[in-house]
Amino acid sequence: MATFAVTYAYAANSSAGRDEHRPRHVEFLQEQFDGGTLVKSGPFGPEEDPGALLIIEADSKADVEALMNQDPFYLNGLVEQRSIRQWNVFFGADAAAATTRN
């Protein structure tokens, strides 16, 4: 398993759409968290451009892309830009395991 950082930049004027689809988005993320794929996630702070950061454990970048394509925010055109990058963790609770995995 590898660790991936996924960033979302929300589409302009998507606030109402995010409100509408948030229950399904949260349900989707909760399923990933409960299954151990999603490690952490959350929106950026109020002083930042609207978006979010998700930390995901997966076998490959392609697996992360396929998974995140199922996010209701993404499916409904609320994500203007998405970045998926492998992240090699060196410090933190799982650093020893991560460095041997990556």
Q: What type of residue sits at position 96?
A: A
The predicted structure's pLDDT at residue 11: 95
State the pLDDT at residue 44: 96
Residue that has been written with the tokens 């399904």 in this structure: 24
SS (H, E, C) the chain: CEEEEEEEEECCCCHHHHHHHHHHHHHHHHHHHHCCCEEEEEECCCCCCCEEEEEEEECCHHHHHHHHCCCHHHHCCCEEEEEEEECCCCCCCCHHHHHHHC
Cα–Cα distance, 26 to 53 (Å, whole number): 14
Domain map (residue ranges) of the chain:
2-101
Residue 92: the pLDDT is 79
Q: What is the pLDDT along the chain (102 residues), one digit of tens a residue?
A: 999 999 999 999 999 999 999 999 999 999 999 999 999 999 999 999 999 999 999 999 999 999 999 999 999 999 999 999 999 999 877 665 545 554
CATH of domain 2-101: 3.30.70.1060
Q: pTM value?
A: 0.87
Amino acid at 36: G
**Residue 40: what pLDDT?**
96
